[in-house]
Amino acid sequence: MAIRKRTTKSLARRHDLDYFKKGSDIRLWQWRLALVALIAAIIWLGASAFRSSQAFSSGPISNAHAVFGQKCEVCHIPVVSGMGWLPVVGNRRHVPDSACLSCHVNTGPHHTDLAKITEPCSSCHIEHIGAMHLAATPNKGCTECHANLEVSHGTPSIATHIDSFTKGHPDFRPLRLASAELRTSAFGLKFDHSVHLKKGLLGPVVDGAPQGKVTLQCASCHRVEDARGRDAAHSGLMAPVKFDTDCRSCHTLNFDKSVAEQAPHTTALAALQFLRTGVSAAHPGDDGAMKRAEAVLFREKCSLCHTVSGAESLPRVTNIALETPVVTPTKQPERWFSSAIFSHTVHGSVQCSECHANALTSTSGKDLLLPDIKTCQRCHDGQSRPQGPVLQSGHAESGCFLCHEYHETRPHPVAVAQGSEPPSPAFRLDELLPRH
């Protein structure tokens, strides 16, 4: 039998080289189905865009902007006016600062006279990553400058290498700069925390009679002030201690058993006038009773907390203005962290003594009982991240946004000094520092 020879030419003739030029039912239906799918996708996208922009959204928006719903054009300003419904042409990918400032009109800058770089709003406030707190900005937005801080002119007055709260952050400014001499000259108040925290103190006095023994707690005098009129970031401040509401029930200003009313805790002149009117009515013409009452009020009761001069020789002359003792004014600060945010309400689960441990042994009113940074770092240890997984107890968030505001909305001290802004009732740290 003869062997059949196969050559490449003979094999090539078996393939139809015009196969793709010829039509077939299978290929026809493939094209038809692809066209139908494309048309359906276009119709679906068009219907979705007409109804809402959710189909083109990068993700859910934050709680603060939830009021806008599906109105993407509020922030993503259309390139062509009125074309917000049209993808690509209608919406900008990045939100311009003008869109933010149209609502946030009172948002102040951040050291515009010193900062070298001003970042756009969207670089720190990142949207479409969940229904989170938009102010919970990542540390990167701060450390890009503060890890190696440079200013446009002059010399920085703050730390220049801060990488995080646990790395490079200096101790709190009041603890670093308010010296004992400055506190002594500024406060002018005698106070002993350790005595007030002892057990079995004499309780409130009603009608001249003590009502039994009590054991005071920190919350007996220190209470969080009413948060009405404040935003969430500025609530939780401690209310200033006031004599009439916090001290008078135990430390009465009675000066004579025959006078039921207590002297006012206002000025020395008002207290002396009140005393003389009451004693004159109860003991007409009795100079001895007058002198005893003045000694009780000024030498015993007022001098318990205040430095009083001129009370040792009362009464002297008939001119009451010359006889009035001089009470050294107190200047207890209402707020120490004048440039930072702190909320006692958020820390409600923590015992006062865990942060203010020195209060248990403090014997002087000029003691500064603020916790140092190491106390805060025990919980705020840098292990937790904004929007990150929930960690075990003891690892609190440590982001810069917790304590610091980027936008400067409060009046500058220079503007206050020049009278262009009303003075703040808060006691500023610069009032304790020497002026150069």
Higher pLDDT, 187 or 234: 187
Q: What is the pLDDT of residues 355-408, one digit of tens each?
A: 999 999 999 888 888 999 999 999 898 887 665 555 556 688 888 988 888 876
Q: Is 347 helix (H, G, I), strand (E, B) or coil?
A: coil
Tell me the sheet residues that pair with 164.
167, 168
Residue 305: HSE in the Cβ half-sphere, 13 Å Cα cutoff = 19
* pTM to 2 decimal places: 0.70
User: Residue 143 pLDDT > 80, yes or no?
Assistant: yes
pLDDT at 420: 43
Q: What is the pLDDT of residues 8-48, one digit of tens each?
A: 777 777 777 777 677 777 888 888 999 999 999 888 877 76
Question: Residue 124's Cα: distance from chain center in Å?
Answer: 18
pLDDT at 102: 84
User: Residue 140 pLDDT > 90, yes or no?
Assistant: no
Taking the C-alpha atoms of residue 89 and residue 356, their distance in angstroms, rounded to an integer, is: 58
Taking the C-alpha atoms of residue 276 and residue 386, their distance in angstroms, rounded to an integer, is: 63
Higher pLDDT, 409 or 426: 409
The structure tokens 């006031």 sit at 242
| 190, 155 Cβ separation under 8 angstroms | no
| 138, 339 Cβ separation under 8 angstroms | no
DSSP letter string over 149-199? ---SSS--SS-S---BTTBBPPPPHHHHH--HHHHHHHH-----HHHHTSS
Q: What is the pLDDT of residues 293-319, one digit of tens each?
A: 988 999 889 999 998 887 666 654 445
User: Residue 254 pLDDT > 70, yes or no?
Assistant: yes
The structure tokens 């003590």 sit at 210
Q: Percent of the chain, pLDDT > 90?
A: 23
Taking the C-alpha atoms of residue 167 and residue 144, their distance in angstroms, rounded to an integer, is: 14
Print burial letters for 251-280: b (CB count within 10 Å at least 16), e (below 16): eebbbbeebeebbeeeebeebbebbbebbe
Range 209-230 average pLDDT: 81
Taking the C-alpha atoms of residue 139 and residue 386, their distance in angstroms, rounded to an integer, is: 9
What is the pLDDT confidence band of residue 88, given thresholds at 50, 70 and 90? low
Q: Percent of the chain, pLDDT > 70?
A: 76
pLDDT at 424: 39
Two tokens, residue 237: 């401040």
The domain spans of the chain are 71-105, 247-327
Residue type for position 18: D
The H or E element spanning position 205 is strand 205-206
Sign of the CA dihedral running 91, 97, 102, 107: positive
pLDDT at 244: 92
pLDDT at 362: 92
Question: Residue 400's Cα: distance from chain center in Å?
Answer: 11
| 277, 251 Cβ separation under 8 angstroms | no
User: Residue 169 pLDDT > 90, yes or no?
Assistant: yes
Taking the C-alpha atoms of residue 47 and residue 180, their distance in angstroms, rounded to an integer, is: 72
